[in-house]
Amino acid sequence: MQKRKLGTGGLEVSALGFGCMGMSFGYGPPKDTKEMTSLLHAAVERGVTFFDTAEVYGPLLNEELVGEALAPFRDRVVIATKFGWEANPDDGGKWSALNSRPKHIKQVAEASLKRLKVDAIDLFYQHRVDLNVPIEEVAGAVKELIQEGKVKHFGLSEASAKTIRRAHAVQPVAALQSEYSLFWREPENTVMPTLEELGIGFVPFSPLGKGFLTGKIDAETKFDTTDFRNTVPRFSEDNRKNNQALVDVITAFAKQKKATPAQIALAWLLAKKPWIVPIPGTTKLSRLEENLGGASVELTPKDVQALEDASSQVKLEGARYSPFHQQFVGR
């Protein structure tokens, strides 16, 4: 698989990464550890070198899974993880409280190093911007961890352009991770010009619209009770029915290119900018192989324009987050 560079600090990864969250969190109960370990091994064997996790996924379970599974390939892979959450006693112990105080960041780093079985965290993201801690203090804490050799690169997630600039002035930001896909194109206006100006990579999560752009989800689909899509307005039954028109556009385009809708969605992201590295997640080998096939689908500028012209005619319904999650976005 081709490689891409995130930021100007020399962080090179596979053009498609692997979002590991769903193996342990968010999309139903945690999956079988042996099966997920085999899948992570299969990803490495197929050229994936970039794996994304976070302490809050599980919590802690996902980092443990990724650390154990990728230990044999440590010299071949880049592992990204995140800090910034903690258990909230006012919310029954759920990980719903933000905490990016420097002392906490350093505690999280030490714990993540152990769970990931690594000497240094390749890419350490602030998971969500904490308005109670100046971003300069956050960047400064990560800068100290980099100077100590415990972290290699600094990242932000769902941050505003203003916050990105302020952080980057203290410690260069290698990558921003935010949602971006044909299902959610707001970053094109809000952050991508800043990323391009500053030489920061972009790592789109949910590049397949939380599975919607694969064409495998429709208005009749029933999600597990623990699946967070139950809380997403855009995934209500009525909104799925209305938003199907976008999937139909992508499906028609996929037929022309002899590809699948998922492959077109990923190829579109890869064609947008050379510093974009999507991180689709899956728990199935067949889906992994399908996703990786997206890196081989070449879209010309005319193709990209045609796809955008057609898809922009669809009026998408529903917010992408519940009010609780939305409050942490774009700070």
For residue 230, being part of any structural domain is answered with no
- Containing domain of residue 192, as a range? 3-208+272-297
The counts of H helices and E strands in the chain are: 12, 11
Average pLDDT value for residue range 276-286 = 98
Euclidean distance between CA atoms 122 and 77, whole angstroms: 9
Is there a contact between 37 and 79 (Cβ–Cβ < 8 Å)?
no
Give the helix/strand (H/E) hosting 82: strand 78-83
pLDDT in tens, 205-221: 999 999 999 999 999 99
Euclidean distance between CA atoms 91 and 79, whole angstroms: 30
pLDDT for position 321:
94
Residue 131: CATH number of its domain = 3.20.20.100
* Residue listed under structure tokens 């995934």: 235
For residue 89, being part of any structural domain is answered with yes
Q: Which of 144, 145, 172, 133 is nearest to 156 (CA)?
A: 172
pLDDT for position 310:
97
Residues with catalytic function: 57
3 pLDDT band, cuts 50/70/90, is: very high
Euclidean distance between CA atoms 235 and 115, whole angstroms: 33
Overall pTM surpassing 0.85 (yes/no): yes
Give the helix/strand (H/E) hosting 305: helix 301-311
For residue 311, being part of any structural domain is answered with no
Overall domain count for the chain: 1
pLDDT in tens, 311-328: 999 999 999 999 999 999
For residue 249, being part of any structural domain is answered with no
For residue 254, being part of any structural domain is answered with no
For residue 177, being part of any structural domain is answered with yes
pLDDT for position 316:
97
Euclidean distance between CA atoms 76 and 210, whole angstroms: 28
